[in-house]
Chains A and B, each alone.
Chain A
């Protein structure tokens, strides 16, 4: 079997398209899942979709067939068929001329199957729309979190989620007493007094989270603000430790001044 190279022949010559399509598909899938950069994920997505397009185009390939546009002799508007029609008209005027005609099966063998190509036109359009939307999302993420690296993004998302999922009671109580049980921040000591325990119902003390939502800013000032329990604390004095954490390297890029946040970013807490 291997002696005469039948498998090699089949894989590399007859089915090369399919081999390439599978390889491309796997490259794309790997990039989408394993790469940590969002843009690289999108490149993987494009490769993935292109592989499928290659597959569809490959299945409609036919030897010695032409694109599915009427050949000269089949074209009802062409010169060849006009000449034939004039000849035909002289004898028989029953059939309408120059109308789209259905080809015989012997004639259609010379054309490639148009349907997969048409499907792929649609799939390309869908792919473009997806890619455009994904790039727009990347832009939003870059504006909102200052990064398109998944690792950094996850750290930031985890923080904002922890803040978001903090109990409204725990926020109020921890600001008065000891650190709350489900507060993730060990530094939440109760210096600032916002509201006494009895009167804290729902919806109280949420202004702190609202103000602390924007995570674009990398400065130490807003690091202090991020702490939901340090509302009344003076910015800059207590946040030295947070700022030195490895997961949040202070970056120079895309720093927005603290306090100036777009209304979109504030909505996140709601």
Chain B
């Protein structure tokens, strides 16, 4: 079986699908954030998707790493609230850690995602269970890492990662927020799904769909 190459076009497809999922989920993200935040996660994320598309359209270099870095800069600069710097950190770390070249392999993506998670946790000081994006992303990264290192096909690995991310997002419902604006609410944050974990789960759902297309 030929080794699958993940090139800049793959990244564009991944982000294009994420964009569609975010736009569809905007009312849900707004509703979730209204319960435990400023009700701006839906609009912030749709604005972020426009910035991502613009960054990809204006890309000067045709490498996977450059595409990730362009997305990172666009996200860090365009979204208000905490999501901008956090999603920015994810893509900037991906851009910094995957090899330069027109395509990368699944194993490179796994290494990049591991770095992205570390960067995210560095910036937010959040661990699993704090009711944040980390609750969706950490299990997804662990799953794709485990599957790829066990030799599973890329499609199967990202499918398992997407499932883990969705389960992780759902796992935030009973939790008390310990990081971010929602933590202001203390016990009143319990019983609501974290909006950031929800948009993060969509990032992995988009990766799954991009891989099978």
Verify that A and B bind, or say they do not: no
The interface of chain A, by Cβ under 8 A from chain B, is none
